[in-house]
């Protein structure tokens, strides 16, 4: 899921520096970018938070019960504490104060590894929106087309082809990437004190079925040092129907002067 959630950001950042947009396109892009709350473009360098996850609730939600043979494992896993560190490069989850040897706990190591992957995937799916790299980065080759339903943004380059659909208020609803490999997103945004906040995103990679999804992410927010950062994340794996719901607390933000990411002229 990390690969899926970060691929689109890589696609857009890699667009070639061919400034062929019209003045009207440039103005529309500038307006659109200003409407989104992207904390990593507003002097946020990084943040880290404690992670809370209820293993017993997770098993109850999945199975309706906790099998007696699983109780020792859930009890042991619940004692483990984690923090997650997030900067522009991604999310890293660590057990604190140090990793526990779970070799004697049935399925303990696999479940612990899965939890860390789920937590990081949820934040990595949010990160391209937190850094505002979904919309085109200047200078890039792009164009805006006005539709009855809002806007269509086309972007093309060497081994790159992507299209965004926006509502009239410029909230992104859909992203389709054909190159470097098929990938599609469906997004929902809600209003926040500093602009649009990502409420949900679904990702898929089947080009023959644009309504097929592999993973889904849902977000609730909290204020951390003046930034709206994820407070609760729900990750859905559509193949199994499994949901992972975790929350973030005791968050600490590091701030400083930041430069909004741009592609470099060639």
Backbone angles phi, psi at 186, to 5 degrees: -125, 130
Q: Is residue 261 domain-resident?
A: no
Q: Which domain holds residue 46?
A: 2-251
Task: Look at the block and give the residue holding tokens 């943040």.
Answer: 47
Exposure pattern of 105-136 as b/e (b: 16+ CB <10 Å)?
beebeebbeebbebbbbbbbbbbbbbbbbbbb
Backbone angles phi, psi at 4, to 5 degrees: -65, -45
Q: Is residue 66 domain-resident?
A: yes
Residues 43, 256: contact at Cβ < 8 Å? Answer: yes
Q: Is residue 258 domain-resident?
A: no
H or E element that contains 93? strand 90-96
Cα separation, 219 vs 41, in Å, equals 20
Is residue 73's pLDDT more than 70? yes
Q: Is residue 259 domain-resident?
A: no
Q: Is residue 82 domain-resident?
A: yes
pTM of the model: 0.86
pLDDT digits (tens, 9 = 90+) for 162-204: 899 999 999 999 999 887 788 899 999 999 999 999 999 999 9
For residue 118, what are its two tokens?
Answer: 């789920």
Number of independent structural domains in the chain: 1
The mean-pLDDT minimum among 81-85, 100-104, 163-167 falls in 100-104
């Amino acid at each position: 899921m990390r690969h899926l959630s970060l691929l689109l950001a890589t696609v857009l950042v890699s667009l070639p520096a061919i400034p062929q947009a019209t003045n009207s396109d440039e103005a529309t892009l500038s307006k659109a970018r200003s409407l989104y709350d992207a904390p990593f473009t507003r002097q946020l360098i990084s943040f880290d938070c404690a992670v809370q996850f209820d293993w017993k609730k997770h098993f109850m939600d999945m199975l309706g019960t906790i099998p007696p043979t699983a109780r020792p494992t859930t009890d042991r896993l619940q004692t483990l504490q984690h923090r997650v560190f997030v900067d522009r490069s991604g999310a890293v989850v660590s057990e604190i104060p140090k990793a526990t040897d779970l070799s004697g706990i049935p399925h303990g190591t696999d479940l612990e590894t899965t939890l860390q992957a789920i937590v990081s995937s949820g934040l990595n799916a949010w990160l391209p929106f937190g850094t505002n790299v979904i919309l085109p980065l200047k200078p890039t080759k792009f164009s805006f087309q006005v539709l009855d339903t809002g806007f269509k943004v086309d972007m093309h380059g060497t081994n790159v082809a992507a299209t965004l659909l926006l509502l009239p208020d410029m909230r992104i609803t859909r992203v389709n990437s054909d190159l470097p490999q098929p990938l599609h997103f469906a997004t929902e945004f809600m209003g926040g004190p500093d602009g649009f906040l990502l409420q949900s995103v679904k990702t898929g990679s089947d080009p023959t079925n644009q309504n097929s999804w592999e993973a889904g992410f849902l977000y609730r927010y909290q204020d951390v040092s003046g930034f709206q950062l994820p407070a609760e994340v729900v990750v859905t794996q559509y193949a199994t129907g499994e949901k992972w719901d975790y929350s973030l607390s005791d968050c600490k933000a590091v701030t400083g002067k930041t430069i909004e990411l741009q592609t470099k002229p060639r």
